[in-house]
Amino acid sequence: MAETKSTITTCKYNSSSPAVVSWNTIATAVPTYFDIKAKDGSKVIFLIASGSTIVNAGSTYYFGTSDTATTGTSFTRNFSARGLPRMKVKIGKYAKATAQAKFRSSGTTKLYSVAVVGPLESARFKDTDGFIYLTKGKLGSTVAYVGAILLP
């Protein structure tokens, strides 16, 4: 299974130079990972943008010990707290014209919402390579994007 590496955007304290979030596409059952080995994992937050008004919106995402989107029992990653279950994050469906559904995907009329997850406990979610994995569940929006921000 191909994995994709996602970029972590670093913010600067009291800076007049804004940090622009790097968005990566995330697909069903293809894990993406964030390299936090040289970063303080307790200061990383994750942004997930997904279609918010389509019929099967309400996507599920998993952080943690499995590289699959369905079972969560494979424990193929060598996490320090790998016996703990993955963390399941569900993002809701929002109606048009709500405060949550304000953004459009480039080139489409689909509305997107952005959810924030984290910071996460490194001992549970970081593997021995210093990566935190995120996998998208099989149900829900077919197009989603993920970004991460390292807070100062």
User: Can you give the residue range of the structural domain that contains 29?
Assistant: 4-150
Residue numbers of the chain with a pLDDT score lower than 70: 1-2, 29, 52-58, 65-85, 105-108, 138-143
8 A C-beta contact, residue 113 and residue 101: yes
pLDDT at res. 38? 86
Count of domains observed in the chain: 1
pLDDT at res. 82? 56
CB atoms inside a 10 Å sphere around CB 151 = 13
pLDDT at res. 20? 92
CA 76 to chain centre: 19
Helix (H/G/I), strand (E/B), else coil: 23: coil
pLDDT at res. 74? 47
Reported pTM: 0.80
